[in-house]
Amino acid sequence: MALYIIGDLQGCFDPLQQLLRQIDYDPAADELWFVGDVVNRGPQSLECLRFVRRLEESGRGRMVLGNHDFHLLAQAVGLTRFRSRKDTLDDILNAPDRDSLIDWLRQQPLYLTHEIHNLAMVHAGIPPQWTHQQARQEAGAVAERLRDADWQTFVREHLFGSEPACWHEGLTSWDRLRYAVNAFCRMRYCDPRGCLEFQCKAAPGNQPKGYAPWFVHPARRNKDRTIFFGHWSTLGAYDGYNVHALDTGCLWGGQLTAWRVEDGTRHTLQCPHTLQPGKHS
């Protein structure tokens, strides 16, 4: 019995199945956790989403929401201004089980911890000024809104935007929720005050002056629990500061990664070039 945490799929279903065969995955005993961005850009978004849903409903898998998963929710409620030529979501949006898939997806969390292992899983990161208790609280507030009967208003009218970029306890209402989603799903770099930078997607060493990866912040308050995250394909396989980065760029011809928690080992599969190199997200 093993717990595997798997990096961004982004619609790469066939590589996922190959990786599972490579690690001798036992669906009757093993558990799979996914760091978000299950869908989009790759060719098999529908297959990926259905697979993760079946796992979660059987009690053998979990996922957190990533920015591309939110992008799917936005498309589902008719918010088309962010649509891209690179999107591969039409198979989901036109599927006979579309409504049940979207309803299931919006109920997935932003932050997960394990009842046995001292770990947390998010898509992009946790603001350095947050403890794990606060991360759980802020993620829970977003989850409550997404599960509300009027969730579409939140996604359509209040979710998207890069402000506020700086956290303070006085944030309220939509600003507080938007900051939390951006931190959990889009964050890579922050400044010494913990303010977030959303434009730079490059590897460390190429970021704007005054910014550093969120996990190296000297006053980070969430070092007491190992954090697994994805989102940052240009960072690649990184292990340090009690974090493990699992987005190794399968979509871009890199690798798909599964981390086996019990023995702390990485397992990777070389992926084909699904898309031409470009702005990774």
Per-residue pLDDT of the chain (281 residues; tens, 9 = 90+): 999 999 999 999 999 999 999 999 999 999 999 999 999 999 999 999 999 999 999 999 999 999 999 999 999 999 988 888 999 999 999 999 999 999 999 999 999 999 999 999 999 999 999 999 999 999 999 999 999 999 999 999 999 999 999 999 999 999 999 999 999 999 999 999 999 999 999 999 999 999 999 999 999 999 999 999 999 999 999 999 999 999 999 999 999 999 999 999 999 999 987 654 444 44
Joined tokens for residue 134: 């606060």
Cα dihedral 129, 109, 236, 207 in deg (nearest 10): -40
- pLDDT at res. 207: 97
Nearby residues of 150 by Cβ (< 8 Å), 6 or more positions away: none
- The b-or-e profile of 46-64 (16+ CB within 10 A means b, else e) is bbbbbbbbebbeeeebbbb
* Angle at 125 (CA atoms; ends 120, 131), nearest 5 degrees: 60
DSSP classification of residue 252? B
Q: At what angle do helices 45-58 and 98-105 cross, to 10 degrees?
A: 60
- pLDDT at res. 204: 97
- In this prediction the pTM is 0.96
- pLDDT at res. 274: 66
DSSP classification of residue 237? S
What domains are defined for the chain? 3-270 (3.60.21.10)
- Nearest to 180, CA basis, from 193, 199, 165, 200: 165
